[in-house]
Amino acid sequence: MEKLVAQFPKHISDALEIARGSDLRDLGEYAFSNVVICGMGGSGIGGKMVAQWFSSVAKTPIILLQDYDIPSFITGKTLFIASSYSGNTEETLSAVQKAAKLGAKIVGVCSGGELYKFCQDNAFHVIKVPGGNPPRTMLAFSVTQLVHILANAKIIPSDSLDRIDKCRNLLNKELVAIKEEAKKLATFAHNVQLILYSTNQYEAIIIRARQQFNENSKQLCWHHVIPEMNHNELVGWGGGKPEFAVVFFESQFISEQNKLRVSITRDVVLEKTDKCITIQGAGKNIFEESFYFIHIVDWASLYLGELNHVDPMDIKVIDYLKDQLRKS
């Protein structure tokens, strides 16, 4: 797992090479009315990331779907992107088959499996990424392909891949600082009830963080976003306890009003627990800053796993769940 985390910047480069070798220019000929990205877990979080990144410039709504069933608005004018690293995720396979029956334009992203076969059998576009690794370690590949697809469909700016390309330079340049921050975060998160907060446009990033602490560190935590949490969870801090430990992911690119909200929220939290840290973002834009946060947490989840004496690769409980579903 450590090797795979270390290769994250290189994965960006490798993913860009795959994207630039995939000819999807014909997608630009369609007038899509909406985009649905279907994916679960490590394959799905990239969909939420790109939907949030491009929400202010996308020419159509971009929706993340994480279920067996599909929304009723899907038609022949829908761009339906099925993202399943293994190609065998049953929720994604169910949804993409239903979308295809409604005439949606299908594009697959996978390493093989049933999704790859389904796309090939039906002459749908499919981008194949390297297989054999845990899906959560292949985020760079899924995110990059999603950006590539959306750019070719003229949903987002045509130069969007260039923004992804520049992210690896930041990660390589800041690696020492990233790993130092990650060690501090892991030590902070050990033997506490971890809570993650960010502003709304970074929700995908803290969901990713929660997933990494769940899978790599075998530790539960929860997350919420500002300003929404100021309308509900903030009141819940009336029952806050010292064992709660809060991490604020603080971006450079948030509104002045949200900066004020973060500051006030932090003050409320500190009345109930002294366990509160802030991770400051770095980078020239939200793309670079997102990858910066992600790389810190990826390393932190490994370090925390060591402190918890667990195997970051172990997902036996998920394998058990899938086995039980097959038997039913």
Q: What is the DSSP letter of 112?
A: S
CATH 3.40.50.10490 for domain 174-307, yes or no, is yes
Question: Per mean pLDDT, which range of 41-45, 121-125, 278-282 is the poorest?
Answer: 41-45
Q: What's the confidence (pLDDT) of residue 327?
A: 85
Task: Identify the pLDDT of residue 204.
Answer: 97
User: What is the spatial distance between Cα 193 and Cα 191, in angstroms, rounded to a whole number?
Assistant: 7
Does 227 sit behind a cis peptide bond, omega within 30 degrees of 0 on the bond before it? Answer: yes
Mean pLDDT of the chain: 96
CATH of 2-166, picked from 3.40.120.10, 3.30.70.1450, 1.10.357.10, 3.40.50.10490, is 3.40.50.10490
pLDDT in tens, 128-160: 999 999 999 999 999 999 999 999 999 999 999
pLDDT for residue 311: 96
Q: For 191-248, write each residue's pLDDT tens digit.
A: 999 999 999 999 999 999 999 999 999 999 999 999 999 999 999 999 999 999 999 9
pTM over 0.85: yes
* pLDDT above 70 coverage of the chain, percent: 100
Instruction: Place 273 in a pLDDT band, splitting at 50, 70 and 90.
Output: very high
Domain ranges in the chain are 2-166, 174-307
Cβ atoms of 307 and 186 closer than 8 Å: yes
pLDDT in tens, 20-60: 999 999 999 999 999 999 999 989 999 999 999 999 999 99
Measured CA to CA, the distance from residue 163 to residue 184 in angstroms comes to: 29
Given a cut of 80, is residue 328 above it in pLDDT? no
pLDDT reported for residue 41: 93
Asked if residue 5 has pLDDT above 80, the reply is yes
Which residue numbers are catalytic? Answer: 215, 231, 322
What one-letter code names the amino acid at 32?
Answer: F
Asked if 310 contacts 219 with a C-beta cutoff of 8 angstroms, the reply is: no
Q: What is the dihedral of CA 47, 62, 144, 172, to 10 degrees?
A: -70
Provide the residue count of the chain.
328
Same topology, domains 2-166 and 174-307? Answer is yes
